[in-house]
Amino acid sequence: MTTTAENPANAEDRRRRDRRPARPKKSDRAKAEARLGWMLAGPAFVVMLAVTAYPIAQAIFDSLFSYRLTAPDERSFIFLDNYLLLFTDGTFWRIFGVTLLITVITVAVELVLGFGLAIVMHKALKSLRGLLRTSILVPYGIITVVSAFAWYYMFHINSGFVNQWFSWVPGIDSDLDWFANFWTAITVIMASEIWKTTPFIALLLLAGLAQVPDELVEAARVDGATRWQQYSRVIIPNMKAAIMVALLFRALDAFRIFDNVFIMTGGDANTEVLALLAYRQSISRLEIGLGSAVSVVLFISVLLMVFVAIKLFKVDLASGTDASGGGKKKKATRKEGQS
Amino acid sequence: MASITLKNIVKKYGDGYPAVNDVSIDIDDGEFVILVGPSGCGKSTLLRMIVGLEDITDGELLIGGERVNEKAPRDRNLAMVFQNYALYPHLTVFENIAFPMRLAKGQFSEDEVKEKVNQAAKLLELTEHLERKPGNLSGGQRQRVAMGRAIVRDANAFLFDEPLSNLDAKLRGQMRAEISRLQRSLNTTSVYVTHDQTEAMTLGDRVAVLKKGVLQQIASPRELYEQPANLFVAGFIGAPSMNFLPGTVETNSAGNPCLSTPLGEIELPEHLAAAGKDKEIVLAGIRPEFFEEASQVEERRRGHGSVISAELSHVEWLGNEQYGYIGYENDPRVVETLQRLAEDMDSDDLRTQLVVALDAMSRVRGGDTIDLWVETRRIHLFDPATGENLTRDAEAGAELTRLAAEDRKRDRERQASRD
Amino acid sequence: MAGSSGLTGRQKLGWAAVSVVILVYALFPVAAIFANSFKTQADLGNPTFWPSNWTWGNYQEIFVGGAQELFLTALRNSIGITLIATFIAVVLATLCAYAIARMDFPGKRFVLGTALAVSIFPVISVVTPLFNLWRTIGLYDTWLGLIIPYLSLTLPISIWTLSAFFRQIPWELEQAAQVDGATQWQAFRKAIVPLAAPGVFTTAIIAFFIAWNDFVYGISLTSTEAARPVPAALAFFTGASQFEEPTGAISAAAIVVTIPVVLLVLLFQRQIVSGLTQGAVKG
């Protein structure tokens, strides 16, 4: 069969096959393919840029102004004064700290819980797997606001049953208003966040687990590994990539926490977080300048986290050779101490 | 090091079908035993039961005389080389080999670990690769790392699960020799699973042939070849496989006992004729190399055989040898048996052609009709109904296996005196 | 791990216990708000889990009662905006992922990188400028004003998921079909579409979940019933009187918007899991 009329699909494929032995002839085809490629990928690309790159540039620009929407005429360039205002304000640092606290604790708990869930699903029989997957997908799919309300009402001083059910726990009684003070409020906020997002981590880790060859685990068993050693020495080191991806994605997500706090406390009891601060400055108070500054700080924090993660990744990958010996010894001695 | 004893081992999965059925094998201390059979014969399951990765449904497994059915793999002190090597990709070659010692925390000092790994590396010519990750090694090197991990263990036995199946043919030959050398020098009890009968024949002190979870025969390679217990073993061992020619035992015009086959009459020695004469039909097992061009046969051997005349359909010249193919009409009474045999052996071709080994120098071509001499004293007759070898000489077989054991003992002594 | 049987009684019991724990974990908060939605106003003050007498009152309130205006329009907004945003995202992502999976063009990795960058972008960071811009150009408080930012949520993950799916499709089938005598269109239609459809469908479900879940844009870029989606509307529910918490109505509304989620999960759990993990693991 000769397809002289250019069939794009065929052309691409032929090109793919031809790619390795580079031939001078391909440049025309390559050009046509590049054009078609960009025609297909272009719209999505443009939309993505338009709804993120432009606004963030605008936000950076706005953050350099004293700009209040109620008084647009008084807009004036103040350079970094908005940032200065933030960084010299104790409240801002408290809010930053709360956000960080939520991020660290939720991600740590989710990682442990998620790993447990992943192991259960990995080991579960086929017949159970469907049921387990279905049930953990419910928290994943549910609207965060709904989850926030659900947890809010459970702990609510009037309509909640938690105070009654757990009244035997020291410190809990029917008069406890969880949302009136920081630690109790933040606990419920984090519980709701953890409940909703652990399934996602569990699924990512499950995929990671599935990629560790069974044979490797069997080899470790024959080599004399205890169950704990199978995980600590073979399985976890071999799913590091999956763990890091899950960790990074969740950390970035947790750092942007908004819905739960908005619904449960609205930032009261010192539970305000960065995203809520940005929202209140710009949307509620129409302080576009200051609000933009908070937005930019949030954005830069996220960028930093990604940067650090990638940096860590690289360090990890490069130093894998020498790190494995040293790290191992440390772990071994620690475990000896335990047993 | 230890002996391994399998007593009536049974493995049943959920569906109740026995993957391994009533297998009993005694493996001596230091012996190299091969488990061989087509895929699905239960050989890997058997190995995994020995090492403890599969539960034993019924029967008893003894290692060094001690029952280990309920023991976890880590408590059996066995070393295993996996099909895909199962190297830990996150560890260097050194750490891969050291892994079992690192797990047994406290038992080995850092110096001991180093010494043992270096020793193993030297034995396996891995010294210059110790700091590399498995991902950067060639297939053969990975294979050697996997063996290194087994060696440093002072394990009771080595278990190999098709360790060479991922290597190309040339490397496979090389690694085969290496495994054989290592096993002889370390003198560690070894069980080796393969579907490749060349590996089985070259490596094993004894070879256990399995079919559908049932042990068919366990014997030295020579005994398997010369005195197969049944049709399956006879067909499975040897390449190209044994020909199975249907025939009936009769008396020819000269008054001698003979086998009447689709390719003519083949005179039979008395003892063969006696074994087959009560059967309505038998299958004559004739290996390709039992044939020779009649004109080439030396006078003194001629009496041990019989001559048939046949037309070659085609020949294959392989340089060092040459095979001729002869088509014939199969007897409908044995078609079913042979078909079942082909299925059992995992080969789908129902053979209705005879393969004969010819001298590589011969100039015969397809279409030629030639006189073939067949060495009748080595023929076996099989009962198509049961597959049983009607002419097996158990004593001669046992003698072959006894000789093999003696050879091994001699090897070992030679090795010991060298060390 | 081995065959399905051969479990001892204790193992079976263990698995049953583990399953119950996970089921309770996953469903308990949903059950709690479900129970709330059937409580009377008086009951909502009692610290009990289940209602003492079940009532449809809260559902009446949001469908035909006082909260009808607020809820039904919000529900219509949510459904309309989410479906349109999902549809556009999946169409654009399909084209983009096809190009990424099958073609070689300069900047291919850059497109994927952009998708990744956008997916980790803090929504709140772009809300302020969008809020400002939308007010200027008249998109504030309109469907389109939400659909566009929703694309920033749904497009990146759709592109990643679909690229992963498309890379697995044996594209030679298209040529095989042509060799077998199919026209180019038939080959695409009969060989490729059936293979690609499940991936596209799965991606659509995941994109739907994400758009359906949005709160930040919903609450920031709307001000009236004209475009306000349900999650945002829930925050604006008020009780029958100033001193009455709208707990019952909110719970009922929450259950209503959870139904599609539960249905999709029940019907397509396998696909959702494979879609979620594929995009992420390959990324």
Domain ranges of chain C: 9-282
How many domains is chain B built from?
Answer: 2
Contacts of B80 in chain A (CB under 8 A): 218-219, 222
User: Which residues neighbour B144 within 8 Å (Cβ) at sequence distance 6 or greater?
Assistant: B124, B125, B126, B175, B178
Q: Give A22's pLDDT tier (boundaries 50, 70, 90).
A: very low
pLDDT, tens digit (0-9, with 9 covering 90-100), for C24-57: 888 888 888 888 888 887 777 777 788 888 888 8
Cα dist from B108 to A224, A331, B113, B121, C107, whole Å: 14, 16, 6, 18, 54
CATH code: domain of residue B190: 3.40.50.300
| C25 residue type, one letter | Y
**Distance from C-alpha of C134 to C-alpha of A288, rounded to nearest angstrom:** 14
| Mean pLDDT of all residues in B167-185 | 86
- B394-418 and B169-186 helices, crossing angle to 10°: 70
**Distance from C-alpha of B369 to C-alpha of B345, rounded to nearest angstrom:** 31
Contacts of A218 in chain B (CB under 8 A): 53, 73, 80, 82, 86
Q: Give A328's pLDDT tier (boundaries 50, 70, 90).
A: very low
**Distance from C-alpha of B200 to C-alpha of B193, rounded to nearest angstrom:** 8
Q: Which of A241-245, B305-309, C18-22 has the lowest mean pLDDT?
A: A241-245
Q: Give B170's pLDDT tier (boundaries 50, 70, 90).
A: confident
| Mean pLDDT of all residues in C157-175 | 81
pLDDT, tens digit (0-9, with 9 covering 90-100), for C64-118: 877 777 888 888 999 999 999 999 999 998 888 888 888 777 888 888 888 888 8
- B17 shares a domain with B156: yes
C5 φ, ψ (degrees, to nearest 5)? -105, -160
Looking at residue B106, what is its pLDDT?
A: 78
Q: Give C232's pLDDT tier (boundaries 50, 70, 90).
A: confident
Which chains, if any, share at least 3 CB pairs under 8 A with chain A? B, C
**Distance from C-alpha of C283 to C-alpha of C281, rounded to nearest angstrom:** 5
Residue at B408 is within a domain: no
- C143-168 and C108-119 helices, crossing angle to 10°: 130
Q: Give A90's pLDDT tier (boundaries 50, 70, 90).
A: confident
Q: What is the DSSP string of A54-75?
A: HHHHHHHHHTTEEEETTEEEEE
Instruction: Quote the percentage of chain C above a pLDDT of 70.
Output: 93
Looking at residue C240, what is its pLDDT?
A: 55
Residue at B407 is within a domain: no
Q: Do B205 and B31 form a contact (C-beta atoms < 8 A)?
A: yes
Q: Does A194 touch chain C (CB under 8 A)?
A: no
Q: How far is C61 from chain B (nearest CA, A)?
A: 55
Nearest chain A residue (CA) to C205: A141
- Inform me whether the pLDDT recorded for B350 exceeds 80: no
Average pLDDT, chain C: 82
**Distance from C-alpha of A278 to C-alpha of A290, rounded to nearest angstrom:** 8
- B161 shares a domain with B296: no
**Distance from C-alpha of B79 to C-alpha of A226, rounded to nearest angstrom:** 15
Q: Do A151 and A192 form a contact (C-beta atoms < 8 A)?
A: yes
User: Which residues neighbour B111 within 8 Å (Cβ) at sequence distance 6 or greater?
Assistant: none
- B249 shares a domain with B221: no
Q: Do C115 and A41 form a contact (C-beta atoms < 8 A)?
A: no
Q: Does A229 touch chain B (CB under 8 A)?
A: yes
User: Which residues neighbour B339 within 8 Å (Cβ) at sequence distance 6 or greater?
Assistant: B350
Q: Give A17's pLDDT tier (boundaries 50, 70, 90).
A: very low
Nearest chain A residue (CA) to C150: A51
| Mean pLDDT of all residues in A135-148 | 88
3-class DSSP state for residue B136? helix
Looking at residue A332, what is its pLDDT?
A: 31
In angstroms, the first-to-last Cα distance of chain C is 28
Q: Do B269 and B278 form a contact (C-beta atoms < 8 A)?
A: no
Touching A: B residues 44-63, CB under 8 Å: 51-53
Average pLDDT, chain A: 78
Domain C9-282: which CATH number of 3.90.1150.10, 3.30.710.10, 3.40.309.10, 1.10.3720.10: 1.10.3720.10
Q: How far is B366 from chain A (nearest CA, A)?
A: 38
Pairing verdict, β B264-267 and B322-327: unpaired
Touching C: B residues 43-62, CB under 8 Å: 54-55
Give the ipTM: 0.87
Looking at residue C228, what is its pLDDT?
A: 86
Looking at residue C7, what is its pLDDT?
A: 66
The residues that bridge with B322 in the sheet, in sequence order, are B317, B358
Q: Give B225's pLDDT tier (boundaries 50, 70, 90).
A: very high
Residue at B362 is within a domain: yes
- B214 shares a domain with B309: no
| Mean pLDDT of all residues in A76-82 | 78
Q: Do A120 and A132 form a contact (C-beta atoms < 8 A)?
A: yes
- B153 shares a domain with B63: yes
* Domain final residue, candidates B226, B249, B268: B226
Q: Which of B50, B55, B91 to mutate to test the interface with A (most CBs of A within 10 A)?
A: B91
- B123 shares a domain with B206: yes
Looking at residue C8, what is its pLDDT?
A: 72
In this complex, the residue of B14, B54, B55 whose CB is nearest that of residue C4 is: B14
Q: Does C6 touch chain B (CB under 8 A)?
A: yes
| Mean pLDDT of all residues in A272-277 | 88
Looking at residue A85, what is its pLDDT?
A: 81
Q: Give C244's pLDDT tier (boundaries 50, 70, 90).
A: low
- B314 shares a domain with B177: no
The domain of B30 spans: 4-226
- What is the rounded (10 degree) CA torsion for A201, A206, A212, A214? 160
pLDDT, tens digit (0-9, with 9 covering 90-100), for B361-403: 888 888 889 999 999 989 999 999 898 999 888 888 889 888 8
Q: Do B192 and B202 form a contact (C-beta atoms < 8 A)?
A: no
3-class DSSP state for residue A257? coil
Looking at residue C238, what is its pLDDT?
A: 65
**Distance from C-alpha of B175 to C-alpha of B191, rounded to nearest angstrom:** 16
- Inform me whether the pLDDT recorded for B171 exceeds 90: no
- Asked if the Cβ–Cβ distance from B149 to A221 is below 8 Å, we say no
Q: Give A274's pLDDT tier (boundaries 50, 70, 90).
A: confident
Residue at B405 is within a domain: no
Contacts of B84 in chain A (CB under 8 A): 213, 215
Report how many Cβ contacts below 8 Å link chain A to chain C.
322
- B349 shares a domain with B218: no
C-beta neighbour count of C243 within 10 angstroms: 6
- Inform me whether the pLDDT recorded for A79 exceeds 80: no
Contacts of C3 in chain B (CB under 8 A): 13-15
pLDDT, tens digit (0-9, with 9 covering 90-100), for B65-91: 899 988 888 888 888 888 888 888 888
pLDDT, tens digit (0-9, with 9 covering 90-100), for B11-52: 988 778 889 999 999 999 889 999 999 888 899 999 999 998
- Asked if the Cβ–Cβ distance from C5 to B14 is below 8 Å, we say yes
Looking at residue B75, what is its pLDDT?
A: 86
Residue at B415 is within a domain: no
What distance lies between CA A21 and its chain's CA centroid?
42
In angstroms, what is the C-alpha Rg of chain B?
Answer: 24
What distance lies between CA C192 and its chain's CA centroid?
26
In this complex, the residue of B92, B99, B105 whose CB is nearest that of residue A223 is: B99
- B150 shares a domain with B259: no
Strand ranges, E, within B155-242: 157-161, 190-194, 206-211, 214-219
Nearest chain C residue (CA) to B12: C6
What distance lies between CA A158 and its chain's CA centroid?
34
Q: What is the DSSP string of C51-85?
A: -SS--SHHHHHHHTSTTHHHHHHHHHHHHHHHHHH
C-beta neighbour count of A19 within 10 angstroms: 12
- B246 shares a domain with B210: no
- Asked if the Cβ–Cβ distance from B92 to A221 is below 8 Å, we say no
pTM: 0.80
Q: Does C2 touch chain B (CB under 8 A)?
A: yes
Q: In order of start, what are the domains of chain A with their CATH numbers? A: 92-338 (1.10.3720.10)
Q: What is the DSSP string of A183-238?
A: HHHHHHHHHHHHHHHHHHHHHHHHHHHHHS-HHHHHHHHHTT--HHHIIIIIIHHH
In this complex, the residue of C100, C120, C261 whose CB is nearest that of residue A141 is: C261
